[in-house]
Structure 1
C-alpha cells in the first residue's frame, strides 16, 4: 500500500471563487484537467495538483443550471495558492463583489498571486479594480456587453485565452480546459497536460492565440437588431433560414433588416450569413475527424460539391487544401 503522506507538496495549487450563478461547465472543465493531471490514471488524488473552492460561508453556491457546489474552506491567506481562479456566470447576475472577496483578491494581487478570470470572471476582476492596464479575454458572445459596462478597456474576443503577466483570462466553456492545461504544462509538464485533455476526449491543447469559434471580427456590431439576426443564424447553422425568414422572426421588414446591416456592417445580410458559415467551415476543417461532406451538412450547404465550389470562390483553394496548409502551419 502506497504511503500518501510521503508524497511531495502539489506543484500546482488552485483556489476557486464561484460567482453567483456561475457557469458549471467552465468550472468543471477547469477542475477536471487539474484532477486528471494530479494523479496516475484517473484516480483523482490531489498529489501533483490541489484545488479548493473558497467562500466566506459554508452555504452552497448555485450555478446557472441550478446545480450547487459546496465550498471547501474560507478564503484566508491567498499565498497558499499558486492561482486564484474566479468563475463567472450569467451576465445579468454579476454584482459587485462583497468587501470580503474583493479584499481577498486584492491581497492576492499584492502578494503576487496570479488571478484568473474564467467566463465572465474577467468582468468581476475588472469591477474589483484588478484589470486596469491588462488585456483580458472575453467570449465573442459577451464582447459588446463588456464594452457597455467597462469604458476604456479593450477586451480580446478573438482568442480562447489571454495571458498578460499575472492576469489570465479565458472565454469560458471548453476554453477553460485549455487554460487549465496551459497551467498544468507550465507547472507539471506537457505530458500531464496532454493526458488530461486526451482523457476528456479533447484532441490537443489549444494555444492562447488560437481563435474562438463564433462570429468573425468583421461582424462585430452594436446594433441590437443585427446582433439578434446573426445569433439566430448561428443557432440554426445546419439549416440556415433565408433573410426573409429571419426578418419575419424578428418582426421587421426585410428592407429594414437590410438597411440595418448596411449601416452597421456595410454588407447585405446574405453576405454576413455566408461569412459566418464559412468561418464555421474553417473551424471544423481544423478537426481531422470531420469529412468535407459532414462539414457541408453541419454548415447548411447542399452537399460537398456546393461547399467546395463556394469555398474555392471565396478562399481560392479547396477545403482539403486549406486543411493541409492549416495543419502544416500548426505543426511546422
Structure 2
C-alpha cells in the first residue's frame, strides 16, 4: 500500500488507531442521483469486512444533509437517516452527491461550511455526478479541472468559464478534488480510495464481488456520444471522447492513437470498421453538429460559429454545411427558426 503522506493527490487524514482506515462523509444534495451513491457506498461496504458481512471495520460512512432525515433522490426513492453537517463525525474524505443539481444551486450555509472546513483540513473532496456544478458554483474549483459528462459539457463551460471541464475520462483527480461524471465514475473513484487507503487486494475483492473484472485509473474514457453510435473498442471510445472534448482544435491522429494505446493504422482501421468513416470525417461531423445546434439555438454570427467550431473560414464552413445538411447556414437558421428542438446528438 502506498504512503499517503508523500502523495499530494491521496487522501489526507489518519483514522484513530484500531479504527476504520477510510472514514467517508457523504453530503446529499437535493435530488441526488441514486446510482452513483449506491455503487460508491456498496464498494465501501464490501471493502469494510470479510466477504460481504458489511461490518464497518476497515471503512465507515455517514450520511449528511441540511435537511436531516431521509433525503429524496432524483428517481423518487429516499435515503437516510442523515445528520446535519454540524453533527458530522470525523472523516478522511467528503463526498458531495449531486444529481439534478441546477447551474444556480444555492448552497445552504451548513453544506458550504462543511466543504470549506474539509478543504481547510486538507481532506479530499469528491463530487459525484453533477456535484461538480455545485462545487464550481461555490468557487472552490476555480482554476482546476473537473469531470463533466459529455452531455453537459457545453452548458458547464458557459456557466463556469474558470473551470476546465474534462469529458474524455470517467473521473478526474486535481489536487484535493476528485470529480466523476456518473455511475461508472463513482465506483471507479470508490475503488481508487479503497486501494490507496485500505489496500489493493481489498479493492480488487470489492470490485469482483460487484462483478467489475478490473480496476482502472482515471484515464478510462467515457462512452462515446450517440452522434457516432456505439463504440466497442476502448481506443475508439478514447479517440471519440477526445474529439468531442477538443473538437475546435487541430487534432493529430498519431496523438489520438497514442491516447488509446494503439498505432495510427490500427486506429484508422477501427474508425472504418466500427463507424464506417475516417478520423477526419468524424471530426468534421462533430464540428458540423455543434455548429448546427448553435445556429438553431443562438443569435451568434455565422462567422463566429464557424471559427468557434474549428473551421478556417466562413465560405469553407458554408460549403461543408450545405453538403452535409442540404442548406446553407443562414438558410438553415431561417428554416428552423424557433421550431427546432435541441439536437440530441450534442
The TM-score normalised by the length of structure 2 is: 0.61
Q: Tell me, in whole angstroms, the C-alpha distance in 2 between the residues paired with 1:222 and 1:24.
A: 35
- Which of 242, 249, 253 aligns to 1:217? It is 242
Q: Tell me, in whole angstroms, the C-alpha distance in 2 between the residues paired with 1:67 and 1:111.
A: 33
SS of corresponding position for 1:101: helix
Pair 1:200-2:217 in alignment: no
Unmatched 5+ stretches in structure 1: 1-6, 229-254, 264-332
Displacement, 1:78? 6.4
Displacement, 1:139? 1.4
Q: Tell me, in whole angstroms, the C-alpha distance in 1 between the residues paired with 2:171 and 2:201.
A: 21
Displacement, 1:219? 3.9
**Range with bigger deviation, 132-141 or 161-170:** 132-141
SS of corresponding position for 1:80: coil
In structure 2, relative to structure 1, the CA distance for the partners of 1:138 and 1:161 (3 Å cut) is same
CA displacement, residues 121-176 of structure 1 (integer Å, 9 cap, x when unaligned): 11111111111222111111221121121123211110111111211111111210
CA contact (8 A) 2:32 2:97 kept: yes
SS of corresponding position for 1:124: helix
SS of corresponding position for 2:82: coil
Displacement, 1:218? 2.3
Unmatched 5+ stretches in structure 2: 1-16, 226-240, 246-286, 295-320, 330-346
Q: Which residue of 2 aligns with 1:148?
A: 158
Displacement, 1:225? 8.3
Q: Tell me, in whole angstroms, the C-alpha distance in 2 between the residues paired with 1:146 and 1:223.
A: 18
In structure 2, relative to structure 1, the CA distance for the partners of 1:79 and 1:62 (3 Å cut) is closer
Pair 1:95-2:105 in alignment: yes
CA contact (8 A) 1:54 1:75 kept: yes
Question: CA RMSD for the aligned pairs?
Answer: 2.7
Displacement, 1:96? 1.7
CA displacement, residues 264-311 of structure 1 (integer Å, 9 cap, x when unaligned): xxxxxxxxxxxxxxxxxxxxxxxxxxxxxxxxxxxxxxxxxxxxxxxx
Displacement, 1:194? 0.8
Displacement, 1:223? 6.0
CA contact (8 A) 1:79 1:108 kept: no
CA contact (8 A) 1:147 1:154 kept: yes
Pair 1:10-2:20 in alignment: yes
Pair 1:116-2:126 in alignment: yes
Displacement, 1:30? 0.5
Pair 1:107-2:132 in alignment: no
- Which of 59, 70, 73 aligns to 1:63? It is 73
Pair 1:169-2:194 in alignment: no
Q: Which residue of 2 aligns with 1:84?
A: 94
SS of corresponding position for 1:60: strand
SS of corresponding position for 2:85: coil
Pairing 1:233-244 to 2, within 5 Å after superposition: none
- Which of 136, 147, 156 aligns to 1:137? It is 147
Q: Tell me, in whole angstroms, the C-alpha distance in 1 between the residues paired with 2:290 and 2:33.
A: 24
Pair 1:40-2:50 in alignment: yes
The TM-score normalised by the length of structure 1 is: 0.64
Q: Tell me, in whole angstroms, the C-alpha distance in 2 between the residues paired with 1:114 and 1:75.
A: 16
SS of corresponding position for 1:53: strand
Q: Which residue of 1 aligns with 2:12?
A: none
Q: How many residues align?
A: 231
- Which of 54, 65, 87 aligns to 2:64? It is 54
Q: Tell me, in whole angstroms, the C-alpha distance in 1 between the residues paired with 2:87 and 2:139.
A: 20
